[in-house]
Structure 1
Amino acid sequence: MFNVKRTATWVAMTAAVTLALTSCAGSGGGGDPTDVNPEGEVEPREISWLLSRPADGGVITAMQQIADEYAADHPGFKLNLITTPDRPSYIQKYETLAAANKLPELFDTDATPFAQKLAEQGRMIDVDVLLDDLGMADDYREAALNYQRFDDGSLYMVPFEFQLEFFWYNSDLLAQAGVEVPATLDDFAPMCEALRAEGITPIALDGADGWPLERYMAHYPFRQAGPEYIQKLKTGEAKFSDAPGRAAVEWLYGLGQADCFQEGFSATGYADAQAQFTSGRAAVYNIGTWELANLATENLDASVRDAVDYFTLPTIDGAVTADNEYVTPSGIGMAINSSTYDPLVRDFLAFALERYPAAVAETGALSPTTDVDTAIPADATPLYSRAIEQAGDVGSAIAMPWDTQLDPATNTRLQQELTLLVQGDITPDEFIETMDAALAENVG
């Protein structure tokens, strides 16, 4: 149920932080964003990284190992990892510290309007300049860097991941229903109806977390109008009632009317949604290559292993984006505080960024760079290698996840209203009216 009190508190807190950030503009809290190779001795000390990543995830594990190697040759150095995996709590901490000019040497952020304000105030190191100075600019995947860029093309975050988001499907279940892989997004509803007629759940969805359904909202506008629509929507230059937004709303409402998602999807969590697909109870599942170990190795149930395949985001008639352009995120980026940037931070980053790609590739994950080969696990199915190879054929336009673009209050309301829309509790017109009002209030 919509928690009015909690949301009102969050909106008020966000407004206060934004006001505080605006008031400290030009206060001299930042250094020179382009001075990436400062003069002076490397004097070891503890530096901190404010993170929004799983504590036992590959990025933290690899970087901690690299930091330990660096510390062995630089007594007195330590990388202090301040971890807050819960994204809303992290954003609250990050924005509060930013408003107080107390951000640590390194901090995680998406390419949001809030982060761009920090960059405009000179409070983040220019990563384009840094990578060029380190001789690493050409090593990074274009899509990995583009995901981190602000709308004006500037780059202030370093990527540590690269993922491709696919629609995984069970070919046996599609064959049982007599349907093919959707060629266009408009083929989804008929596919769902055919699967339902055979008693098959069409699409497994983690509805409890909000962002998976929000991915579906992003698909149609990306194909119809490209990445520019969400860029304008988040600043109030576009509305949900505009053609791309209305098309997305009507498409999602149609998916709900076609009973595409499992019963009770709004209460289904991440693990349960995945289990519905991997056990053969659902025909389609939209998730990224971070789940390769569960979807493309012998960990996958033998009863469905040979039937599992994937397809990329389907197109639409008149699409303005290419077939090989879809959701290809490089995760939350790492920003570098310009006010605390010194020879030590520069020296450590040079050491870490050189070693990180090989370390992450050894785990079977895609590196954000192209200079290393991903290690394919011994128990991998042919899909694993194919998915990794797919990373070499990715276009430059990216379907940005909307939860990384919209302000927190609008994003929270969007996730709530999407559930109601797909459940048929509200009409497309009611959804659009509510979301345009929320956008006007929050962006204004």
Structure 2
Amino acid sequence: MKRVLRSAWVTAAVALTLTVAGCGGSGGADPGDVNPSGSVKPREISWLLSRPADGAVIRTMTELAGEYAQDHPGFRLNLITTPDRPSYIQKYETLAAADKLPELFDTDATPFAQKLAKQGRMMDAAKLLESLGVYDTYRKAALDYQRFDDGSLYMIPFEYQLEFFWYNKALLAKAGVGVPKSLDDFPALCTALRKAGVTPIALDGQDQWPLERYAAYQPFRTDGSSYVRDLKKNGAKFADPAGEKAAKWLSDLGRAGCFAEGFSSTGYADAQNQFTTGKAAVYNIGTWELASLATDKLNPAVRDDVDFFTLPTTAGSATAADEFVAPSGIGMAVNARTYDPLVRDFLKFALTEYPQRYAATGELSPTTNAETTVPANATPLYRRAVDAADEVGDELAMPWDTQLDPTTNTRLQHELVLLVQGDVTPAEFVSTMDDALAQNAPKYFK
């Protein structure tokens, strides 16, 4: 069961604010000098972050910061929260440009973040974790998700997720179909479900990234993760075989009526509701929804019929069945210009204690040394999902919204809706996206 330990001293010790406080610290450290000399002098440090305010990451770190403050009077962890991702990115990049980033800040492994690292403004996370004696406890996939293309590591993961296709066994049986063995089976699956009067796939089209996941699946199976790494820098094309196959497949999904009517305006909660009320047969979402899909919170009318499968392979697939989307979320970077003995000491305490505390809330830890506490009200699927974390392969399917330049990504999200709706052909989609890529990628990745 998810548990959050609260007490008066936590509330008093940890400040939650929406304004940027002074960063403190001295002249800055060499990114590789992870063990600075000097004494620990308690002060307020800040963490610029983009995470749900009521999520397990913030609750756990708030608890740990309060405990640290008990032994270090004068210490405060100031959380600068901006849950809305676009607003967060704007704030983060503005503060970076003004050289006012706080001690800790959230970032994906983007070209912008890599520029900060190359400027010596982020601590080497690999060296830091090694010096704290915790590097080897992290899941390989969790760390790999945070790495730049050159393999360097400057972000620390605080979560670990697996993305599954949840499905309703009764609805598939009603349509006379089974779990798809290949991605190429999806159009036929959807056609059969439609004929049976069932909405095939629930999709949050409003937030755009869920449909973009589908765009990434075929290329990951045909070419592996190398395709998007090359694509984002205009070193590969949408017109390449992997991109063309993806465009045709997405168009086929649309023609087969795979997604719910009006999917482009369907929000997160509505998409989840379509599945949990038995109106949709399949729902592609991550283990962050285990509490909704694998406990007694799930609608009793569908609870016994829900199961999940992982990303299907394809004929001649370049990646294996145990390789799929397994993100470790947005990472935390450590500001080299404000790094000092206090920051190191707090991180040593927090990162040592964090895995067990976080796993106790029912979440998957980014490390292998903490066993997830399965809630008392869990269905058998909860344990199966947790156990699957130990079976993930080496290659990751990276979400494209964290890989492409922002302008091309925005255009892609728009064009995907048109493609699935049948408003543009696969050839038109490919041409439009290659033009956008050629125009934007070289400037962003220079």
Q: Distance in 2 between matches of 1:352 and 1:431?
A: 47
Residue 232, structure 1, aligned to residue 230, structure 2: yes
Which residue of 2 is the match for residue 141 of structure 1? 139
Q: How does 1:202-221 map to 2 (within 5 A)?
A: 202-221=200-219
Q: Distance in 1 between matches of 2:82 and 2:337?
A: 23
Q: RMSD in angstroms over aligned alpha carbons? A: 0.9
Which residue of 1 is the match for residue 327 of structure 2? 329
Which residue of 1 is the match for residue 73 of structure 2? 75
Residue 396, structure 1, aligned to residue 394, structure 2: yes
Q: Secondary structure at the match of 1:391?
A: helix
Q: How does 1:17-416 map to 2 (within 5 A)?
A: 31-416=29-414
Paired residues of 2:29 and 2:340 also in contact (CA < 8 A): no
The TM-score normalised by the length of structure 1 is 0.93
Offset of residue 137 of structure 1: 1.1
Q: Secondary structure at the match of 1:403?
A: helix
Moved over 4 A (4+): none
The aligned amino acid for 2:334 is I
Q: Distance in 2 between matches of 1:55 and 1:440?
A: 38
Offset of residue 235 of structure 1: 1.4
Give the % identical residues. Answer: 70
Q: Distance in 1 between matches of 2:297 and 2:305?
A: 14
Q: Secondary structure at the match of 1:287?
A: strand
Paired residues of 1:30 and 1:124 also in contact (CA < 8 A): no
**Unpaired segments of 5 or more residues in structure 2?**
1-26
Q: Distance in 2 between matches of 1:355 and 1:242?
A: 47
The TM-score normalised by the length of structure 2 is 0.92
Q: Distance in 2 between matches of 1:30 and 1:45?
A: 16
Q: Distance in 2 between matches of 1:170 and 1:47?
A: 47
Offset of residue 406 of structure 1: 1.3
Offset of residue 365 of structure 1: 0.5
Q: Distance in 2 between matches of 1:375 and 1:249?
A: 41
Offset of residue 96 of structure 1: 1.5
* 1:375-427 alpha-carbon deviations (Å, 9 max, x no partner): 01011000000000000100111001111111211111111110111000111
Number of equivalenced pairs: 416
The aligned amino acid for 2:143 is L
Range with greater deviation from structure 2 (178-187 or 30-39)? 30-39
Q: Distance in 2 between matches of 1:296 and 1:54?
A: 21
**Unpaired segments of 5 or more residues in structure 1?**
1-28
Q: Secondary structure at the match of 1:346?
A: helix
Offset of residue 30 of structure 1: 6.1
Q: Distance in 1 between matches of 2:113 and 2:437?
A: 19
The aligned amino acid for 1:218 is A
The aligned amino acid for 1:49 is W
* 1:79-119 alpha-carbon deviations (Å, 9 max, x no partner): 11011111111111111211221111100000111111111
Offset of residue 31 of structure 1: 3.2
Offset of residue 232 of structure 1: 1.1
Q: Distance in 1 between matches of 2:113 and 2:236?
A: 21
Q: Distance in 2 between matches of 1:242 and 1:117?
A: 29
Paired residues of 1:30 and 1:122 also in contact (CA < 8 A): no
Paired residues of 2:28 and 2:339 also in contact (CA < 8 A): no
Q: Distance in 2 between matches of 1:157 and 1:240?
A: 30
